[in-house]
Every structure is written in C-alpha cells, then in structure tokens.
Amino acid sequence: MLVTGGAGFIGTHLARMLLEAGHGVRVLDALLDAAHGASAPAPPTAGVEFVHGDVRDPATVEAALRGVDAVCHQAAMVGAGKDFGDAPDYVECNDLGSAVLLSAMARQRVRTLVLAGSMVVYGEGRYACARHGTVRPGPRQIEDLTAGRFEPACPRCASALTPELVSEDAPPDPRTVYAATKIAQEYLAACWARDSGGRVIALRYHNVYGPGMPCDTPYAGVASLFRSALARGEPPRVFEDGGQRRDFIHVQDIAAANLAALTGLDGLLPPGTLRAYNVGSGTPHTVGEMATALASSGGPQPTITGEYRLGDVRHITACSARLRAELGWLPQVSFAEGMREFADAPLRESTARMPAE
C-alpha cells in the first residue's frame, strides 16, 4: 500500500491505521516546509517504509510504486492560500502531481486508487427557496458582503434561502483555485480508470481537524488557525458573523473512511470506474460554534470580525449517506468530544507562518 503525503496531517493517521489493520505500508512524502517545518522528521509510525521524494518527480514515483497493489493519494497543497498568485503552485502540486502518479500507475499496472477529494468542489452548496424549490445561488457580491449581507439569496426572486445537504450527484461548482484543482484531480483519475481498467474511490472530505494539524500557516484549515491563535493567547478571529455552516470531522474518522474504501472497493466498483463519496459527520455546526468550543478550554473568546474572503462560500454541508450505506462507515468521534481533545492537542510546526495582525 502506498500513501502519498503519508507524513502529513491526514497521511500520518492513515498510515498508522492501515498498519494496524495488517497492511504493508509505504509512504511517499516530500516533507515540504509549509506542512512540516524546516526540520521535518520522518514518519513516526514504526513499521512504515518511508520514501523521501516529490509526487511530481516521475522517477521517484516509479520507485515508490514498485510492488504496490493500491494507492491512497493524500499528497496535495490544501487550504485557501494567500491570493491568486498561489494558483501555479496549487495546479503543479495537485494536478501535475496527480498526473505523474496516475501515469506511473498505468505503466506499473497498479489498478486501485483511493483519492483524497474535497467538498469544496460543490461551491456554495444546495439551497431551497420557498417559491422555487432547489436552487444554486451564484457567487456572493462584494457590495453585499461589505454591507454584512452574508446569506445568499434566491437567484430568481431574491428571497431568503434554507441551506440543505449536498449529494454526490450535485454538479461541481468550484469557486477557488484549490477547489478547481480538486475536481480536476477527480477528472484525471476518472480518465485513468477508463484507460487502464482501474478503479477509483474519491472521498470528498469535509472540514478535517485533529491532532497534528499544521499551525500558523495560510494553507491550514480554519480549525488549525483558531487553535494556533489560542496557543498564542489570542482570540480566534471569526470571519463574517460566524454563522457559516460546515461539517467538522475528526481525522481518525477520515482515516477510517479510507480504510473502508480500500476494503470495500473490490466488490463495489467494476473496472474503469470512479465513484465519489462525501465524508462528513452528518452534524453541521457553524464556524462560530467551533471557535467557541475550542476557546472553552480556557482561552480568550472568539472575535467576530465581519471580515470576509471573496472566494469563501456561506454554507456547505454534504450528505454522507452513500458512504454509510455502501461501505458501512460510521463516524466515531462526536463534535463535543473531538473539540475537547483538539483544544489541547499538539499541532505540527510550520515555517509558512501567518503574518502578525
């Protein structure tokens, strides 16, 4: 079993779980400073074979794949980044890296792939209008956000909308560079599957959190940014009014979903196909609720800033019923339990620090 990005946040938990389940595990990781810090250690899990190299390098990937029968592809540049200037790096890391990996898998006849996807491919998500039923609002406008009107309106009648859960069959609507690269990864993997007779399960992760997240970096998730602030004795800075709905899911449940995909894939997918699965807890919470839960361990209470980022969506929560029904996966870590643990959990040092406020 090859885990790309296996020394990273999710990859470390996944490699350990695969090993405990009896799989032979090889990790390929470049140990980039942005995720690991300047003095990045080798993976801490005993019994894991480690290959230090970049998924964008064909020779390294060819060597890492020898003797492997399946790949969990976690290696990626994540998060919203700093600005559009990050676009070439996102495309190179995520899409070129995936293309190099898939090309090598085709040559070496490795036919099983579990791909780390993301719910960001859905964009603003699914909404219901009392008059027009299910609608998909367009991007939010600067003038509305500046005025504090954060909720999207019906694109047909401008009425208030009710956010709903998104299914895997919803059309993609990526609204950031990162989101565009994640759906491109799925398209590349689907092409590889058809051409090679391979099978792909794309796991569209929700907002993952837990021990070992990188700290103080613009490429981390919001949970890590809040924890980093609290570790500095500062209040978490919550954008908009804190009412944005997300589904926060513990990294151990994400690792378990990957294991379920690997063990259930054989009897589920015919050769040449890709199937996507949402991976969420099923219990949405607001960003403000998450910040308050982390601060409840004794840190300063969150600050609601009213600030915004134009590419952010208001609500995105997806239905994970398909994963539960077809692969038997169930999340084990509740929001309350996970946030209590994460409030005191160690973070991974990073050299890509956020600028001081």
Q: pLDDT tens for residues 144-191?
A: 999 999 999 999 999 999 999 999 999 999 988 999 999 999 999 999
Which of 233, 228, 203 has its CA nearest to residue 215? 228
Q: Is the pLDDT of residue 12 over 50?
A: yes
Residue owning tokens 């569209």? 204
- Cα separation of 114 and 71, whole Å? 6
In this structure, what DSSP letter does residue 302 have? P
Handedness of CA 264, 269, 270, 276 (dihedral sign): negative
- Cα separation of 219 and 115, whole Å? 20
Q: Is the pLDDT of residue 142 over 90?
A: yes
Amino acid letter for position 95: D
Beta bridge partners of 214: 348
- Cα angle 238-282-215, degrees, rounded to a multiple of 5: 40
Domains of the chain (ranges; CATH) run: 2-126+164-344 (3.40.50.720)
Task: Please say whether the beta carbons of 54 and 30 come within 8 A.
Answer: yes
Handedness of CA 114, 120, 122, 126 (dihedral sign): positive
Task: Please say whether the beta carbons of 250 and 209 come within 8 A.
Answer: yes
Query: Which pTM value belongs to this model?
Result: 0.92
Burial of residue 207, with CB atoms counted within 10 A of its CB: 0-12 exposed, 13-18 middle, 19 or more buried: buried
pLDDT band at 35 (very low <50, low <70, confident <90, very high): low
Which of 245, 188, 222 has its CA nearest to residue 80? 222
Mean pLDDT, residues 57-68 taken together: 97
Amino acid letter for position 54: D
- Cα separation of 233 and 200, whole Å? 44
Task: Please say whether the beta carbons of 342 and 294 come within 8 A.
Answer: yes
Task: Please say whether the beta carbons of 205 and 246 come within 8 A.
Answer: no
Q: pLDDT tens for residues 226-263?
A: 999 998 999 999 999 999 999 999 999 999 999 999 99
The tokens for 344 are 């005191």
Amino acid letter for position 55: V
